[in-house]
Structure formats: C-alpha cells, structure tokens
Amino acid sequence: MRFKSLADLKRQKPKEVTLATLPQEVSMTHYAKEKAFKISELVREIHEESYEWYGFTIADKENPELITDIGLPQNDQNLLEYAAIGPARIAEYHDSLSEDTIINGWIHSHGALQYMHFSHTDEENQATVLDFVTARLRKTVAKKEIPIQDLQLLVKDEFEEKELEEGSVSLITDAVVSEAILMETIYGGFSYSIVIGDEGWHEQEIHYKERGVISGHSHVSKKSADLVLIDNGRSLTQADIIVLSKEVAEKIQPNTNPPTELIERM
C-alpha cells in the first residue's frame, strides 16, 4: 500500500457522543446581584473601609445553573487589597446549607481597587472551588471512545491462559465478537467565578472540569462569560439587610496590621 502523504497515516479521531451540555453564560437572579453589592456597601459602612471579601454563589439543587443567592462564609482575613478564606471554610459553609441548595461557584469583591479583573491569587482559589463544586455537581456529558491498539477479543471458557499474554487489552465475551469499541463515560461539571468592584463593575468566568471514568483523564478549562439576570420575583428587603448587616459585622475580619510575609505577597 502506498500513502500519498503523512496525513494518511494520522490516527483516526476517537468517536465521541455529546449527551449533555454545561452552561455557557452565568445566570443570576436580580436578588443575588443586589445582595452581592449590598455586602460591599455594608462592609464600607460597618468596618469604615472598602475591604475585599469572599463569598459563595448558591443555587437550588433542582436548577444548579442559576445563582439564586450569595452566601457569606467566615472570612479569615480582610484587607484593602487582599482577602483570605481557608479551604475548610468551603465544606464548613456547604454543611450549613439546607439540603435543597448547593454551592455552584464563588464571588470575590476587589473593593475600591481599580483592578477590574481576576488576580493571580483568584486563579489559584478558583481551582480549589472547582474541585469542591464539581465533586458534588457533576453529570454525564459524553461517551468517548478509548482507542486501544492491539485489542484482543476472546470467548469465555474457550481460550487458554497463554493467550492472555498477547494483546494490550483482552476483552472476554460470552459469544464470538469480531469488533468492539470501548466507550467511557465522561463526567463534567462547572463552577462560576465572579469578581465585583464598589463602582458597580463585574467580571465573570465559568470553569469546567471533565473526567473519564475509565481512563481517569481530566481536562480543565475556562471561559469568560456574560452575566444573564433573571427575575424570580424576589427582592432584597429591609429585614434581609438587617440580617446581612449582622453577618458582615461577624464574618468580615479587618486586619490593619498584617504580618510581613503577607505584605510581601501582595
């Protein structure tokens, strides 16, 4: 056989069947957005400075792609240009939620800073949140072929042990099979990331993680995304603001004398 070019020798692309899709835009209720900026406003009023803060985006389990609320966990440290929250706070806050709600991402305020993008520290934190969220919020998104070179097909009770020495993978069936394709399940999940500022600006990303159940291969990606606001009939009431004020007073931890090693990292 003669090949016209090296392109003729390229391995055929594995078959893949898409079974579900992951969100391509960040959907959020007007209530959740209003609450996020109200937290920043209360931080300024209560703590008298525009400190950065971290929170989580919350959704109903039945509709995990829509952010319906903003959760404010205990922050470990809040400065004008830095905020910290330990990984254990994610699980701690998740356990405090009702059974019909779930964390589907995180939100971070840059306060009065004019840095209107995600920082390098934000990117590191996003990986932690992505792992946590996708472990609890995943679905089958595809079936993908696992290419196997030198697949050996054997019939049950009709082969000798020595035959198992051949082939890279042995597939044993109860009947004669002339051809077989192995398709693994691909689980996929997502996590929203939102950064906001006191002046009303906001930027969003969606982070994705897919993993093959047989190969164990993981693929992580991200994309900038538009924010789509949804009216679910709920608005921020005065009673909500009173409760939120207490949370901000208790959970935001200003530190006017950060340790030297922290200053050097900022």
Query: pLDDT digit string (tens) for 114-159?
Result: 888 888 778 878 888 999 999 998 999 999 998 888 888 899 989 8
Q: What is the mean pLDDT of the chain?
A: 88
Q: 203 burial class (0-12, 13-18, 19+ CB within 10 angstroms)?
A: middle
Residue 179 lies in a domain: no
What pLDDT does 97 receive? 95
Residue 3 lies in a domain: no
CA–CA separation, 32 and 20 (whole Å): 27
In one-letter notation, the amino acid at residue 143 is: K
167 token code pair: 């082939």
Residue 127 lies in a domain: yes
Residue 156 lies in a domain: no
Q: Can you tell me which residue has the tokens 């950060």?
A: 258
Residues 6+ apart with CB under 8 A from 42: 241, 244, 245, 248
Is there a contact between 195 and 213 (Cβ–Cβ < 8 Å)?
no
Tell me: pLDDT of 87 over 80.
no
What CATH number has the domain bearing residue 82? 3.40.140.10
Residue 175 lies in a domain: no
What pLDDT does 116 receive? 84
CA–CA separation, 256 and 251 (whole Å): 16
CA–CA separation, 87 and 41 (whole Å): 26
**Among 51, 11, 16, which Cα is nearest to 252's?**
51
Tell me: pLDDT of 2 over 80.
no
Name the pTM for this structure.
Answer: 0.84
Residue 152 lies in a domain: no
pLDDT digits (tens, 9 = 90+) for 147-195: 888 888 899 989 888 988 898 888 888 989 888 888 999 999 999 999 9
pLDDT digits (tens, 9 = 90+) for 18-53: 999 999 999 999 999 999 999 999 999 999 999 999
Residue 36 lies in a domain: yes
**Among 133, 58, 70, which Cα is nearest to 98's?**
58
Is there a contact between 108 and 194 (Cβ–Cβ < 8 Å)?
yes
- The angle subtended at Cα 56 by Cα 51 and Cα 59, nearest 5°, is 150
Instruction: State mean pLDDT over 196-218.
Output: 95
Tell me: pLDDT of 8 over 60.
no
Q: Looking at the 3D structure of the chain, how many domains does it have? A: 1
Residue 181 lies in a domain: no
Residues in the chain: 266
Range of the domain at 229: 23-138+189-265
